[in-house]
Amino acid sequence: MEVKHAMEGELKLLIIENDFAKCALFPEHGAHVAEFAPTGKENILWLSESSCFEGDKPIRGGIPICWPWFGAHPADSDKPSHGFARIAKWTLDEIEELDSGDTSVVMSLSGSPASLELWPHQFKLTSRVVIGETLTLELTTHNTGDEPFEITEALHTYFNVADVTKISIAGLEKKNYIDTIDDNKTKTQNGPVTFNSEVDRVYCDTQAECVISDPNMNREIRVSKKGSASTVVWNPWIAKSARMADFGDEEYKGMVCVETTNALNDARTVAPGASHSISAKIALST
Ligand code: BG6
């Protein structure tokens, strides 16, 4: 295993290479995984060329950790979109080479006066990333306070695709979804998910693996998960891309988000002293 340290803008970057893959992370900025490329293969994750790399801003691409709320805060839209974990300063706890040759990286975030202002609960959040032939990210929420709390969250994974209009996503067939760009109507997925306009959907009641088929890249990306019964699929398409400062106008063509979530009615309550884990495993099948 080789471990390198570098800077990207204001942020500390950790680059790990082992027998199976290369992975780049911003451990102290949101415990953010930015790149994952199995040896000899192209990067599976997408990262915007317009992304900010500043201490108080989210990174556009990779795997932002959305926590303790997904999307806009339910009662106060002045609070950060997708919670504060992705812009918080985390601690890098451990880098360990496992017997398998995989590398495990553990990062954590605890409640602070700043977090209490945004969210009045004591917690410890741990992210464990295992880098091997596959990438596994497990996010565990510990309730260290004396009252139960509720969270929504996402492993907001951006994937690199050759041409979003040519891909399809299998695994969500016949599932109901909330269409957030059509008045939050409930609809039912007919066949695989394909893209020819903006897509922003929360698929409900699904623990299924999703398979992104990308014929132009000649690859399939498999996203399996635990601790999650909802999946978000997002592509901003033309108008929304143009509105986002940290997203190139044409970049929507080369990305798709398939997010492992606890969103909407899949919110989880964590009792005092208890914990909840959500995890995603990303693998190439070709
Ligand atoms: C997705 C949401 O998860 O994240 C979209 O479903 C949102 O509605 C997108 O636009 C990006 O959010 P942000 O806060 O990173 O711009």
Q: Is the CB of 45 under 6 A from ligand 1?
A: no
According to the model, what pLDDT value does residue 12 have? 98
Does the pLDDT at position 199 exceed 70? yes
Distance (angstroms) between ligand 1 centre and the Cα of 210 equals 19
**Ligand 1 touching residue 232 (CB < 6 A):** yes
Which sequence positions are flagged as catalytic? 156, 259
In this prediction, residue 286 carries a pLDDT of 61
Which numbered atom of ligand 1 lies nearest the CA of 154? 3
Q: How far is the CA of 231 from the centre of ligand 1 (A)?
A: 13
Write the pLDDT tens digit of every residue in 82-93. 999 999 999 999
119 pocket-lining for ligand 1 (C-beta < 6 Å):
no
3-state secondary structure the chain: CEEEEEEECCEEEEEEECCCEEEEEECCECCEEEEEEECCCCCCECECCCCCCCCCCCCCECECEEECCCCCCCCCCCCCCCECHHHCECEEEEEEECCCCCEEEEEEEECCHHHHHHCCCCEEEEEEEEECCCEEEEEEEEECCCCCEEECEEECCEEECCCHHHCEEECCCCCEEEECCCCCEEEECCCCECCCCCEEEEEECCCCCEEEEECCCCEEEEEEEECCCEEEEEECHHHHHHHCCCCCCCHHHHEEEEEEEECHHHCEEECCCCEEEEEEEEEECC
